[in-house]
Amino acid sequence: MSIKDLNELLFDRFSYVNEIMKLRKDLNSKLSLANVCISKAKTTRGISLFSVNSIETHDLEPSVFVNIENDEFKRETEKNEEESEVKNRKSGETEEVKEEKKAVSTKGQFRPFGVLEPTSAKDARQQMGESIDILCRIATIQQKINKIDEEFSATLKHEEVIKQLRKLYV
């Protein structure tokens, strides 16, 4: 490996860091917008509905799952659940099992505004979903940066590269 290869690695790393900084700026704006939407929904519905006693007390269950495939982080979407339902119908599951699965999937959803959410609360949910997508992209890029760092440190251990770097400094 030569100095040119090291320069390419560092250039790739800097471009990934630049991309992460842009994504973090987008993430910050999405989260701020979600916060505004939640505040708007609270104001629309009345703050008295949001006391500590009115929030549901059952255990919260995860509503979003992130899969890692080929060092890429992806949010599992609702389409995957629909595809699994189609597969279940083909496999011949009974209706009781289907009903149990539906009850489990709706049981864990946190709905502080009730079933009929205001539009601003739905907008906040959408912004949070987009934020999770951005976080997945950031995690994927961070994984690439970690690989570049490992390759860079392994390259610096080669004596040929060290000699070439010493020639540059002399």
User: Could you give the CA distance from residue 154 to residue 132 in angstroms, rounded to a whole number?
Assistant: 33
Q: What is the mean pLDDT of residues 101-128?
A: 71
Say if 12 falls within a structural domain: yes
Mean predicted lDDT score pLDDT of the chain: 77
**pLDDT above 90 (res 22):** yes
Say if 53 falls within a structural domain: no
Give 37's Cβ-side CA count (13 Å radius): 19
**pLDDT above 70 (res 121):** yes
Q: How confident is the model at residue 45 (pLDDT cuts 50, 70, 90)?
A: confident
Q: What angle do CA 35, 38, 39 make, to 5 degrees?
A: 85
Question: What pLDDT score does 160 carry?
Answer: 75
Count of positions (residues) in the chain: 170
Say which residue, 150 or 167, is predicted with more confidence.
150
Say if 59 falls within a structural domain: no
Question: What pLDDT score does 117 carry?
Answer: 78
**pLDDT above 50 (res 108):** no
Say if 95 falls within a structural domain: yes
**pLDDT above 60 (res 170):** no
Say if 100 falls within a structural domain: yes
**pLDDT above 90 (res 25):** yes
Say if 65 falls within a structural domain: no
Which of these ranges, 21-30, 113-122, 123-132, has the smallest mean pLDDT? 113-122
Q: What is the mean pLDDT of residues 38-56?
A: 67
Matching residue, tokens 């989260």: 31
Number of domains in the chain: 1
Say if 10 falls within a structural domain: yes
Percent of the chain with pLDDT over 90: 31
Q: How confident is the model at residue 54 (pLDDT cuts 50, 70, 90)?
A: low
Phi, psi at 101, each rounded to 5°:
-65, -40
User: Could you give the CA distance from residue 90 to residue 70 in angstroms, rounded to a whole number?
Assistant: 29
User: Could you give the CA distance from residue 79 to residue 68 in angstroms, rounded to a whole number?
Assistant: 17
Question: What pLDDT score does 140 carry?
Answer: 95
Say if 61 falls within a structural domain: no
The most confident of the ranges 10-14, 54-58, 77-81, 84-88 is 10-14
- For residue 112, the enclosing domain spans 3-47+75-169
